[in-house]
A and B are shown apart, each in its own frame.
Chain A
Amino acid sequence: MFSSARHERFFVAARSPPRRRAVALACAFCLCGFAAAAGSPENFGYGKAATPAEIAGWDIDARGGDGAGLPAGKGDVSHGTEVFIQQCAPCHGTFGEGEGRYPKLIGGEGTFTGERPEPTVGSYWPFAPTLWDYIDRAMPFATPHTLSADDVYAVTAYILNFNNIVPGDFVADRDSLPKVKMPNHDNFSWEDPRPDTAATACMTNCIDPKAVKVISSAEGKDLTPRTSGPLDNMNAK
């Protein structure tokens, strides 16, 4: 099939009485299923074929697991230090310690079971190629996607180095980055185990009334912005 059948679904559905419409839809679905299995030619023909040059311009992603998509180029720790200080340090601090509330890129190991976990690139990120990918696509914050591939490799090397994940002579490129094992890599599960709570829809005498105690209240905490009048510009807490 056939553009005609697809169009039929579109137009017939718009004009037919309900019963005939249902049949027409059912038929169209049969045809689609059949045609898809057989490898159908294009259906609508809208838009235009993407040229290799068009794809190359936007095809920027580098995959975390295997680094597929990392481009040619390379960068070392020492060049990365220069680029980082110029482009990244105003927000992230010279060694990734973070300025103000901007993200820390270093530290936090051993904090995840405590009260204040500090997930950073060094302590949390599971994949090194994702670091290249994210810097390339979204950083520097105010001028995103303006660094060369070499500069992004260099900054990646510097960040991995100040986290003691790679040595000072490390050179980041499309071959070396996928081989970097991030310290927290094995502490992720990628299967959703929910539902993980077993609440029941009990209706009467579900708990002992004496056990109902307020253990925490937002009353009196100075955290809530006002919800009437102009926007609140309350200071950092």
Chain B
Amino acid sequence: MVREVDRPSGRMRLRNARRNFLRLGAAAAGGALLGRAGGAAAASSPPAEPSWSMEVGPGVVDRPYGRPAKFESDVIRRDVPWLTASRQSSVSFSPLQSMCGIITPNGLFFERYHAGRVDADPRQHRLLIHGLVERPLVLSMDDIVRFPAVSRIHFIECPANGGMEWREAQLNSLQFTHGMIGCAEWTGVPLSTLLDEVGLRQEAKWVMVEGADGARMNRSLPLAKCLDDCLVVYGQNGEALRPEQGYPLRLLVPGWEGNVSVKWLRRIKLGDQPWFSREETSKYTDMMPDGRSRGFTWVNDAKSVITFPCPEKPVAGPGLYEIRGLAWSGHGKVKAVDVSFDGGVNWQTARLHDPILSKALTRFSMPWRWDGGPALLESRAVDETGYVQPTIAQLREERGTNSIYHNNAIQTWQIKPDGKVFNVQLG
């Protein structure tokens, strides 16, 4: 649970956490994650022997590329069929309710396509860098992999994550209210290395990045961000990118709206102005209550959500539980997460779990003794800039209900006396 128990401070924290947890009373808990397994498994419980202990299983390389246990078949990406006209230009959502830690497994990372999934051949894929540069360059994947590599853990979040909740609580599901986010260890080359290599001309101020999908999806980025922390990546969690994530090459723009992390990256062009492409004018612009729109709203502000309990993972009955959740900020590290059980009247500071990384998912937890009464659970992230995650009411007051993007509101989960959990919004 805590990775750095060897460090005295880490051990101390763990001990304190355990003490605080147990002080709340004897646990009648367990079963939060595996809630439904109990009854059906009785035939194999002691003293009986389970069938799998009475036989020899398949040998090594029975599955040369492994896959999850068959009992985990519910844990998959899912879509909202009524949301889009076709699955080729659509989005899927990650099952946050069933995930552990801060790393999103590659097979569960949310998808967003504009012209369907691309299966590009890495032997033929090329990256062209041109425009206001000294030496326009064509790079093969072999060339790109030769550059000094770095690995960094960052989230990617679609700015429309939570977009269906601007007007009212609509979807009764953590997967569908917050599942357009994933966090991975990405491996690749700093974009600054490649831009150094081609040599920037003095007039270069903007960078256009374009994908090799059928939509040739393209966005403009200011040069400063590209030189700061952008990566051109080919690795994701220890293996090559998945086709869903831009195999063989994508851009990673840490902390910024996911759409700019262009997948199947094939072209980088330097220019002196932004391009105002369709994806940064017609889409990915935020409509305000006066009818005007904001463009180039790139950063995903601090946000958090409780992942247990949630609509998909109700509470089994009164007793001791561990509230669990995720927090993140496009501006840097998460500094604190507070949890409320009464709809925001009072708050308590949650425990943050190591590692706490910049522009990455961060785990938080807090013990909770549920007495069986109604409760309104909320979490509130504060990032290292001091920014505090707002309520939906505060967001609406400023931005109305038509902006679709950048809903980073505090999520309220209503706990009913039977333990069921509902997505609600408070006035």
Contacts and interface: CB of A to CB of B under 8 A. Distances in A.
B285 A188 contact: yes
A117 B128 contact: no
B292 A125 contact: no
Given A40-B199, A191-B296, A235-B82, A219 B344 contact: no
A2 interface: no
Contacts of B282: 119, 121, 124-125, 130, 134
A18 interface: no
Contacts, number: 277
Given A188-B285, A194-B301, A218-B171, A207 B344 contact: yes
Given A63-B271, A64-B277, A224-B173, A137 B216 contact: yes
B28 interface: no
Contacts of B422: 217-219
B277 A203 contact: no
Interface string B329-340: 000000010100
Contacts of A208: 345
A46 B147 contact: yes
B78 A225 contact: yes
Question: Interface residues of B toward A: which range?
Answer: 35 or more
Interface stretch (B52-60, B352-360, B386-394): B386-394
B369 interface: no
Given A141-B115, A212-B345, A224 B176 contact: yes
Contacts of B343: 212
A193 B140 contact: no
Interface stretch (A78-86, A151-159, A160-168, A226-234): A226-234
Q: In terms of DSSP, what is the predominant structure of the interface of chain B?
A: loop
B8 interface: no
A201 B173 CA distance: 27
A47 B389 contact: no
Contacts of A200: 388
A54 interface: yes
B342 interface: yes
Contacts of B134: 39
B79 A231 contact: yes
Given A49-B137, A201-B382, A215-B426, A188 B78 contact: no
A169 interface: no
Contacts of B30: none
B278 A130 contact: yes
Contact of B196 (A43, A199, A223, A236): A43
Contact of B346 (A10, A134, A204): A204
Contacts of B62: none
A147 interface: no
A19 interface: no
A36 interface: yes
Interface string A56-69: 00111101111010
Contacts of A15: none
A72 interface: no
A213 B138 contact: no
Contacts of A137: 215-216, 218
B394 A215 contact: no
B370 interface: no
A196 to B, nearest CB: 5
Contact of B395 (A49, A145, A197, A218): A197
Interface of B: 74, 76, 78-82, 84-86, 88-89, 95, 97, 114-115, 128-130, 134-140, 143-144, 146-148, 168-173, 175-176, 196-197, 199, 208, 210, 214-218, 266-267, 269, 271, 273-278, 281-282, 285, 287, 289-299, 301, 311-312, 336, 338, 342-349, 376, 380, 382, 387-391, 394-395, 398-399, 402, 406, 414, 422-427
26 contacts: A40-B196, A46-B139, A63-B273, A65-B276, A68-B271, A112-B402, A124-B293, A134-B277, A137-B216, A138-B114, A138-B115, A141-B89, A188-B292, A197-B398, A199-B380, A202-B347, A206-B346, A213-B427, A214-B425, A214-B427, A215-B425, A218-B422, A218-B424, A223-B82, A223-B170, A227-B78
Given A200-B388, A217-B422, 9 more contacts: A124-B293, A130-B277, A138-B278, A191-B296, A203-B347, A208-B345, A214-B427, A225-B78, A225-B173
Q: Give 9 closest A-B pairs by Cβ, nearest first.
A: A64-B276, A112-B291, A215-B427, A50-B136, A218-B172, A134-B278, A101-B85, A197-B390, A212-B343
